[in-house]
Amino acid sequence: MTTIDEAALGRALDQLPLRFKGPGGVAGVVKDGQIIARRAWGYADLRARLPMTAALRLPICSITKQFTCALLLDQVADPSTLDPRIAEFLPNFEGPLPTVKQLCDNQSGLRDYWALTVLQGAVPEATFRREDAMPLLARMKTGHFPPGTSYSYCNCNFRILSELIEATTGRALGDLYAERLFAPAGMTTATLLPDSRVPADGVVGYEGNDEVGFLPAENGIYWIGDAGISASLADMLAWEAHIDATRDDPCGLYTRLSAAPSFQDGTPASYGYGLKHDTVAGVKVTGHGGALRGFRAHRLHALSERLSVVVMFNHEANARGAAVALLEAALGFAEPEKPGTPEGWDGLWLDNDQGLVLRTTADSTGVTLRYATSPARLAVGADGGIHGEGVSLRRQGDGLLMTRAAENLQVTAPPLAAVNRADGLALAGRYWSDELEAALEIDTRDGATFAGFEGLLGAGPMERMYPVGPDVWVITTRRSMDAAAPGDWTVQLRRDDGGAVIGLTLGCWLARRIAYRRIA
């Protein structure tokens, strides 16, 4: 077990407000079941001049997911007995349905319903009520992949789990959290706060950055077991201490949650029961991050070191980066010197199987890959490949070979030929998705092309649309009801024998390969 470098940890904590700029934040470290350091800086509400403290509750966002899975294990002796009930939530689904365990492990293959809200015409600031969720889920007909074969992050997995827990127990989820999880762990102020329009304790979440300034974020989402818990830093450090206290109990909930996951074919996976399994500073860790508009959070637990880190911001800086920096400092880890400047890595590529564009941009320190919800940073490896968290890239002739081991996914992507201009008038019109029962309107005005989505939730804002290759476009979505936004939607056109556009396929990492046919 490593001795903590207290001096380095103190410096890293002191640097957080400068490295991760924003209105306010909290961070803490637990070692051997004891709090050894914590910080609270800035303001919970800039206008009201409310200081941030370790006692104020912030949304823990998707960290909620592990508590939902813990409650499932606590309340249901054999979760597989609930498998037949999943059909109640997906009455129109074609093909094999996921199991409860596959929901817990993000192996369901379902498209993320927060990405689908964009395609259903949601306005980013609109209210999304609890009763809006089930009709949206019920429309799902297909998924990304057969359940159990791959990984795809999906909030609706945990929405279904939450509804199953309540239906099975006949009790409210918030009451069960409080009684079965929060009280035993000493999380005295933690609560399920589903309505994100009014955060706890007067805390305000902020959008923006230090360059353009910070504005209060508008959230109108009713969360439940996917991202609904609010807790103080004191609560979260109590949870970490509780994990340490129960570390030797084979029946302890966190011990059961953190069991090594695998895919259906036995291949090791890196996500299970609402926990991500990773290696930081050469040490195996479990943890999870969270993001709602205006808030970011992350926790990491290293069992072998009996060491935990928690970071929460009321702004949208990189909470995971902050948590990793603290863990590395505590362990006295020095980042190895990176190899030289990558060459020949600027380009656009097309993952035909997933229907997604890959964009790589090189600079003096590495390569930025844009493919999933947020850019991934990669560095040159000794083997000549480009590697980052959970992803590796290699050149394969003119194409690109991408390995995403955590997702059980390997992608061969040919390059996209450059286009300087494209005829937006050829695709302007109205399209319909039988999958979503929703519409897409594309309009071109003097060379500028826009797309607007309409569906169950109304008519959303018009979004810019740009050509990136022959018959390949992107629709940029930088803001949505959930955070992070879907990012770039890849659009692949379909033409008839005469060359007329008759339809398209649209998708992002969270919601892939959705077909639309032209109706006007």
What pLDDT is stored for residue 267 in this prediction?
A: 95
What pLDDT is stored for residue 334 in this prediction?
A: 79
Higher confidence at residue 176 or residue 486? Answer: 176
Which of 284, 304, 330 lies at the terminal end of a domain, its last residue?
A: 330
In the Cβ-directed half-sphere of 258, how many Cα atoms lie within 13 Å? 24
Whole-model pTM?
Answer: 0.95
What pLDDT is stored for residue 340 in this prediction?
A: 63
What pLDDT is stored for residue 373 in this prediction?
A: 82
**Which segments within 281-398 are labelled E, that is strand?**
283-292, 295-302, 307-313, 347-351, 356-363, 366-370, 376-380, 386-388, 391-396
Q: Are residues 212 and 279 in the same domain?
A: yes
Average pLDDT value for residue range 216-228: 93
Residue 285 domain flag: yes
Q: Are residues 19 and 163 in the same domain?
A: yes
Q: How many domains does one find in the chain?
A: 3
d(CA 504, CA 485): 22
- For 309, residues 6+ apart whose C-beta sits below 8 A from its C-beta are 27, 28, 29, 30, 299, 300, 323, 326, 327, 330
Q: Are residues 275 and 314 in the same domain?
A: yes
Q: State both tokens at 301.
A: 């637990």
Domain that holds residue 513: 424-518
Q: State both tokens at 133.
A: 């969720």
Catalytic site residue 304?
A: no
In this predicted model, what pLDDT tens digit does every residue of 97-114 receive, in sequence order? 999 999 999 999 999 999
Q: Are residues 326 and 351 in the same domain?
A: no
- Catalytic, out of 31, 65, 101, 276: 65
260 φ, ψ (degrees, to nearest 5): -60, 120
Catalytic site residue 65?
A: yes
Q: Are residues 57 and 20 in the same domain?
A: yes
Which of 358, 379, 413 lies at the terminal end of a domain, its last residue?
A: 413
- Catalytic, out of 62, 196, 258, 270: 62
Q: Is the pLDDT of residue 439 over 80?
A: yes
In this predicted model, what pLDDT tens digit does every residue of 146-197 receive, in sequence order? 999 999 999 999 999 999 999 999 999 999 999 999 999 999 999 999 998 8
Q: Are residues 438 and 322 in the same domain?
A: no
| Distance between start and end Cα atoms, the chain | 67
d(CA 392, CA 260): 22
In this predicted model, what pLDDT tens digit does every residue of 265-300 receive, in sequence order? 999 999 999 999 999 999 999 999 999 999 999 999
Average pLDDT value for the chain: 94
Average pLDDT value for residue range 207-225: 93
d(CA 353, CA 345): 22
Residue 129 domain flag: no
Which of 277, 299, 330 lies at the terminal end of a domain, its last residue?
A: 330
416 φ, ψ (degrees, to nearest 5): -90, 130
Which of 452, 439, 441, 446 lies closest to 424 in space, CA to CA?
446
